[in-house]
Amino acid sequence: MKNYRFYFLPVLLILLTFSLSSCDIIGDIFKAGMWTGLIGVVIVVLLVLFLIRKMRR
């Protein structure tokens, strides 16, 4: 089980870099408005922190 944890994070990061275009995301955030973007960023940061905590246990 420990071997899967070692490979999970790098694979996830590589998948995110190829699947998400940062320019498109930033443009959509500015179109939606500042508060929507701020709430979205906070939710993403909390989700990443949650996943990191779950993987360390």
pTM, two decimals, is: 0.47
- Separation CA 50–CA 34 (nearest Å): 24
- SS3 (DSSP) at 55: helix
Residue range 12-51, pLDDT digits in tens: 777 777 766 667 767 776 777 878 778 888 999 999 999 9
Q: What is the pLDDT of residue 13?
A: 74
Q: What is the pLDDT of residue 48?
A: 92
Q: Please, which residues have CB within 8 angstroms of residue 38's CB and are 6 or more apart in sequence?
A: none
Cα 13 from chain centroid?
8
- Residue 2 is classified by DSSP as H
